[in-house]
């Protein structure tokens, strides 16, 4: 943008856009956080052009097993589960220049073997899924203060013996919450009050999955009309139509995530992510050591594109960077992160260099944009 005339300058200054323009143009730097079943979180800068992870330090005051992390919408705070019995969740301030983490506080997760957490769209609530509790499965809604400090849970819910809550997030409109229950097997549907943080069952309270499917993780399509669930136990992906007004899912399609001739012994599904373009959805297959790629039609239905397995070793988690150009895969049995460039037309993955060593048992990799200054 060039200010070619005094008139343009005056209009922008009077409208208030002049003060906002420099901030909007400020470059942001991608930082990568890797964690797992070790008492540390490793931090990198992401060189998107070169496809490299540049070490930026590590934080060790993170608890025993920070197996899953989440960032608030402003990228000021990071939250970590401790997948222990009893479970806890921890809050950290993110240094906007270096990416370094400063502990703020920690609180009980209101359950055990805490598997997942996410913030709501306002950044005021931390939602937590507890896998354990004698495999009963509980969730909690925890307030986040403006300074990132966590308060006591304002609401908890139980789903019954054997339910195994494995994931929790709001819908794009921040009015409803969804919890894949691996042992349900089902996906719980709840109404969310973003003012009080409280939850109540929707009607119906769950959408059923096939017996033995094991719903694990869920991701919404960018258009808010569809959602996709990775089923851990039977290695399938389910496509749902989503009624955003009622907050209800309706199953449309189920496809296998492995090739037809693949050996399923020791294999299990893990992560799912929809590309920001809405044209592709990806899932990770542990044991088979692959990422499955589906093309998405305008109706939300999936068509298999193929599988990528180069350098992948038990992909517990993966993420797509905010630009939609790179995929980073956490190799739990490879002590590394593999990086792929995403073909924006085909959805296929092209390996970018050798895997980056990140320490033992990585189970989470995430990218957040910081000022870097």
Pairing between β-strand 280-286 and β-strand 268-274 as defined by DSSP bridges:
antiparallel
Q: Is residue 294 assigned to a domain?
A: no
State how far the Cα of 149 lies from the Cα of 231, in Å rounded to an integer.
34
What are residue 190's DSSP bridge partners? 177, 201
State how far the Cα of 185 lies from the Cα of 33, in Å rounded to an integer.
31
Pairing between β-strand 155-158 and β-strand 349-351 as defined by DSSP bridges:
unpaired
Question: By residue range, what is the domain housing residue 146?
Answer: 77-88+102-208
Which CATH number covers residue 129?
Answer: 2.130.10.10
Q: Is residue 213 assigned to a domain?
A: no
pTM of the model: 0.92
Q: Is residue 334 assigned to a domain?
A: no
Number of domains in the chain: 1
State how far the Cα of 173 lies from the Cα of 177, in Å rounded to an integer.
10
Residue-wise pLDDT tens for the chain (373 aa)?
333 333 333 333 444 444 443 444 367 999 999 999 999 999 999 999 999 999 999 999 999 999 999 999 999 999 999 999 999 999 999 999 999 999 999 999 999 999 999 999 999 999 999 998 666 789 999 999 999 999 999 999 999 888 999 999 999 999 999 999 999 999 999 999 999 999 999 999 999 999 999 999 999 999 999 999 999 999 999 999 999 999 999 999 999 999 999 999 999 999 999 999 999 999 999 999 999 999 999 999 999 999 999 999 999 999 999 999 999 999 999 999 999 999 999 999 999 999 999 999 999 999 999 998 7
Q: Is residue 178 assigned to a domain?
A: yes
State how far the Cα of 329 lies from the Cα of 317, in Å rounded to an integer.
6
Q: Is residue 160 assigned to a domain?
A: yes
Q: Is residue 263 assigned to a domain?
A: no
Q: Is residue 60 assigned to a domain?
A: no
Q: Is residue 141 assigned to a domain?
A: yes
């Amino acid at each position: 943008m060039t200010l070619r005339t005094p008139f343009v300058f005056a209009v922008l200054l009077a409208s208030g856009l002049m003060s906002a323009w420099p901030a909007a143009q400020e470059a942001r730097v991608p930082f990568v956080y890797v964690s797992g079943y070790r008492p540390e979180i490793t931090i990198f800068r992401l060189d998107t052009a070169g496809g490299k992870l540049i070490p930026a330090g590590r934080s060790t005051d993170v608890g025993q097993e920070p197996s899953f992390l989440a960032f608030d919408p402003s990228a000021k705070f990071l939250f970590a589960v401790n997948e222990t019995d009893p479970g806890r969740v921890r809050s950290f301030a993110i240094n906007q220049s270096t990416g370094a983490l400063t502990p703020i506080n920690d609180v009980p997760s209101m359950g055990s073997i805490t598997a997942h957490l996410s913030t709501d769209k306002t950044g005021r609530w931390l939602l937590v899924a507890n896998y354990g509790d004698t495999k009963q499965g509980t969730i909690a809604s925890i307030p986040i203060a403006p300074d990132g400090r966590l308060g006591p849970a304002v609401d908890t819910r139980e789903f019954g013996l054997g339910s195994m809550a494995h994931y929790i997030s709001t819908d794009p409109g921040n009015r409803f919450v969804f919890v894949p229950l691996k042992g349900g097997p089902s996906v719980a549907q709840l109404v969310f009050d973003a003012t009080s943080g409280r939850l109540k069952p929707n009607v119906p309270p769950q959408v059923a999955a096939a017996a033995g499917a094991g719903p694990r993780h869920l991701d919404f399509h960018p258009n808010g009309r569809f959602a996709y669930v990775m089923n851990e136990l039977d290695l399938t992906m389910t496509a749902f139509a989503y009624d955003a007004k009622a907050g209800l899912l309706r199953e449309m399609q189920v496809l296998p995530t492995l090739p037809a001739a693949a050996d399923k012994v020791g294999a299990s599904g893990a992560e799912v992510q929809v590309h920001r373009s809405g044209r592709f959805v990806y899932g990770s297959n542990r044991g088979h050591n692959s990422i499955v790629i589906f093309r998405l039609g305008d109706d939300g239905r999936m068509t298999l594109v193929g599988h990528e397995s180069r350098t992948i070793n038990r992909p517990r988690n993966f993420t797509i960077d905010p630009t939609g150009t790179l995929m980073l895969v956490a190799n739990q049995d490879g002590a590394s992160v593999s990086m792929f460039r995403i073909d924006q037309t085909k959805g296929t993955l092209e390996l970018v260099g050798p895997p980056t060593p990140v320490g033992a048992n990585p189970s989470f990799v995430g990218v957040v944009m910081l000022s870097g200054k």
